[in-house]
Amino acid sequence: MDRAIILHGMPSKQYYYDSTNADSQSNSHWIPWLQQQLCQRDILTQTPEMPFPFAPDYVAWEKEFEKLCADENTLLVGHSCGGGFLIRWLSENPEKRVSKVVLVAPWLDVEGEYPKMFDFPPRQDISAQVKKGIDVIYSTNDLKTVQLSLENLRKLVTNLKYHKFINYGHFTFGSMKTREFPELLQICLD
């Protein structure tokens, strides 16, 4: 593993366009810290800003993601909607191979509000495309929609490794009160 791509989640439109926010989505929460930690271990790490993240569209996100050329030497990390995107990308591209996938609070829009992103059936065997496996990180007090997404993931996709955290919320700065996430780094490097 000599490359990594970290995908952010979905903000509200109001938050995205709020000029008082200092961070873009790709530079919020623990993302910059993880990028720095991986780069210091000689793992070139990209944190792309996905188009219109408040109204995610799979085709638009895929177009940007494909520019990064993920391959069998690439670690993929997705937070929330970014994790849901990675599940769909693997499901719809069975020929693609990557080194490792880490899904942090993956969200699959079980309510059906964003069909342009999540109107797809996850393939049961996506872990066969991932050399070092797929790790799923979740918190006991995450959003109800994420809890429902996890239930669906457990039913639909096999051979995932789950890591339970207590009171980490949605793994945002607001719920964690820190930008550092050493447990995530360890899971990425294992």
Domain edges within the chain: 3-189
What CATH fold (topology level) applies to the domain 3-189?
Answer: Rossmann fold (3.40.50)
Q: Which residue has the tokens 């059936």?
A: 121
Q: In sequence order, what are the residues at sequence separation of 6 or more whose Cβ sits closer than 8 angstroms to the Cβ of residue 34?
A: 6, 45, 77, 181, 184, 185, 188
In the predicted model, what is the mean pLDDT of residues 71-92? 97
Q: Which of 98, 152, 163 is nearest to 121 (CA)?
A: 152
Residue 185 scores a pLDDT above 90 = yes
Helix (H, G, I), strand (E, B) or coil at 62: helix
Cα–chain-centroid distance for residue 151?
A: 17
CA angle 101, 104, 6 (to 5 degrees): 60
- The pLDDT of residue 156 is 93
Q: At 160, which helix (H) or strand (E)? A: strand 160-165
CA angle 49, 130, 11 (to 5 degrees): 25
- The tokens describing 4, both together, are 């990594």
Average pLDDT, the chain: 95
* pLDDT tens per residue across span 133-180: 999 999 999 999 999 999 999 999 999 999 999 999 999 999 999 999
* pLDDT tens per residue across span 12-26: 898 888 888 778 888
d(CA 11, CA 6): 16
pTM: predicted TM-score of the whole model, two decimal places: 0.96
